[in-house]
Amino acid sequence: MDLITIAFYFFSALTIVFGAVVVFTKNIMHAAFSLLFAFFGIAGLYVLLSADFLAITQIMIYIGGILVLIIFGVMLTTRITGVDVKTGKIGKIQIGIAGLLTVLIAATLIMIFSTSKWYLADSKPLDSTVNEIGTALLTNYLLAFEAASMLLLIAIVGAAFIARKKH
């Protein structure tokens, strides 16, 4: 195994293990901190795919911004650490059906990923992608880029409305 393969397995394991912790833990603080490592693992995977810009964005926005916000959100709400995420009971039948579905979907996905012929792009020499992404965003994807800004504006208006006190 070369170094890149080892790094790949390391980051994958990091993402999956901490992703599982996020889902299964009952303590909301643990979940928030595990999310940090899961995001970091994904950033590592982006680096291995030589998607440098994406990796940095992942770290800056998800870890630096969103996650810190989540942790603050959890800490600022009243009862800090002792809050159980899960409440109520789930019946055995529901667990059974959910489990069955999960196994079925997972099996299908694994089969598809291992057997399908995937589209392979021509490999390019390693280079910074920032320039290309910037050009694409302002030419071929101009509309998507601008529409996303409109989406954010709508989201801010909505969030401000929800957060505002009644008047």
Partner 1 sequence: MMDISDLIKSISLFKPETTLIVTFMLAMILDMAFKKSKNIAGYIAIAGLVIAGIFLFQQTGVNYKAFANLLVIDSFGQFMKFIVLMSSLIIIVFSFFSNELHNAHTKLGEYYTLIIGMTFGMFLLVGSANLIMIYVAIETMSISSYVLAGYTREVKRASEASLKYVIFGAVSSGIMIYGISILFGLTGSLNLFEINQFLSVNNVATLPLLLSGLMILSGFGYKISAVPFHFWTPDVYEGAPVTITAYLSVASKAAGFAVLLRFFKTGLLDSVPGTSEAWQLLGNIDWHYVIAVLAVLTMTLGNLVAVWQTNMKRLLAYSSIAHAGYLLMAVSVMNDNGVSAVLIYFVFYMLMNLGAFFVVQLIANKLDSENIDEYNGLGYRSPVLAVCMTVFLISLAGLPPTSGFIGKLYVFSSVINSGYIWLAIIGVLNSVVSLYYYAKIIRNMYLRDVESAKTKLVFSPVTIAIVLMLAIPSLLFGVYFTPIVEWANYSMNIFVGN
Residues that bind partner 1 (CB under 8 A): 108-109, 111-112, 115-121, 139-144, 147-148, 150-151, 153-155, 157-158, 160-162, 166-167
CB of 96 to partner 1, least distance (A): 18
CA angle 41, 127, 46 (to 5 degrees): 15
The token pair at 81 is 């650490």
Based on CB atoms, which residue is closest to partner 1, 134 or 158? Answer: 158
CB of 115 to partner 1, least distance (A): 7
The token pair at 101 is 């579905």
Distance of CA 100 to the CA centre of its chain: 25
CB of 52 to partner 1, least distance (A): 20
CA distance 79 to 117: 51
In the chain, the largest separation of any two C-alpha atoms, in whole Å, equals 64
Based on CB atoms, which residue is closest to partner 1, 79 or 119? Answer: 119
CB of 67 to partner 1, least distance (A): 18
CA distance 6 to 21: 22
Q: How many helices (H) and strands (E) does the chain have?
A: 7, 0
Based on CB atoms, which residue is closest to partner 1, 95 or 105? Answer: 105
CA distance 152 to 30: 29
Based on CB atoms, which residue is closest to partner 1, 6 or 20? Answer: 20
CB of 93 to partner 1, least distance (A): 17
Based on CB atoms, which residue is closest to partner 1, 3 or 120? Answer: 120
